[in-house]
A and B are shown apart, each in its own frame.
Chain A
Amino acid sequence: MKKFQQALMTGVSYMLPLIVFSGMTIALTGMIAQSASAEIPAVTTLNGFAWTMINLVPAVFAAYMAYAIGDKAAIIPGFIGGYVAAHPPVEGTSASGFLGAILAGLIAGYAVIYMRKLKVPDFLESIKKTLFIPVLVGGLLYLLMAYPVALIVGALNDFIIDNLIALSQAPQYAFILGAILSAMCAFDMGGPIGKIAITFVFAVWNDPSGLGFVVNAAVFPGIMVPALSVGIASLIARNKFTKSEIEMAPASILSGLVGITESTLPYAFRDPIRVIGANMLGASIGGAIMMGFGVSTAGVSGVFGMPMASNLGIFIAAIAIGTGISVATQVLVKKPVDETIPTVEAGEDELDFEITL
Chain B
Amino acid sequence: MNIVAVTACATGVAHTFMAKRAIEDAAKKRGHDIKVETQGATGIEDALTPEDLKAADILILATDIKLAKMERFDQVKKVTIPVSTAIKNANGVIKRIEEKLES
Q: Identify the A interface with B (CB < 8 A).
A: 5-7, 9-10, 12-13, 16-17, 67-68, 190-191, 195, 260, 262-263, 265-266, 269, 344-346, 350-351, 353-357
> Could you say which residues of chain A place their CB within 8 Å of the CB of B14?
190, 260, 262-263, 265
**Residues A262 and B64 in contact, CB atoms below 8 Å apart:** no
**Residues A269 and B65 in contact, CB atoms below 8 Å apart:** no
**Known pairs A12-B10, A260-B14; A68 contacts B87 (CB<8 A):** no
**Known pairs A9-B65, A355-B78; A262 contacts B15 (CB<8 A):** yes
The binding surface of chain A is classed by DSSP as: helix
Contact among B11, B66, B78, B88 with A344 in the assembled complex (CB-CB below 8 Å):
B88
A245-B102 Cα distance, complex, nearest whole Å = 37
> For chain B, which range describes its interface: under 10, 10 to 19, 20 to 34, or 35 or more residues?
20 to 34
**Residues A346 and B88 in contact, CB atoms below 8 Å apart:** yes
The binding surface of chain B is classed by DSSP as: mixed
Contact among A10, A17, A269, A346 with B66 in the assembled complex (CB-CB below 8 Å):
A10
**Residues B11 and A16 in contact, CB atoms below 8 Å apart:** yes
> Could you say which residues of chain A place their CB within 8 Å of the CB of B81?
350, 353
**Residues A353 and B13 in contact, CB atoms below 8 Å apart:** no
> Could you say which residues of chain B place their CB within 8 Å of the CB of A346?
84-85, 88-89, 92
> Could you say which residues of chain A place their CB within 8 Å of the CB of B76?
357
A357-B59 Cα distance, complex, nearest whole Å = 10
Give chain B nearest CB distance to A251 CB in angstroms. 11
Give chain A nearest CB distance to B29 CB in angstroms. 13
Interface stretch (choices B30-38, B45-53, B93-101): B93-101
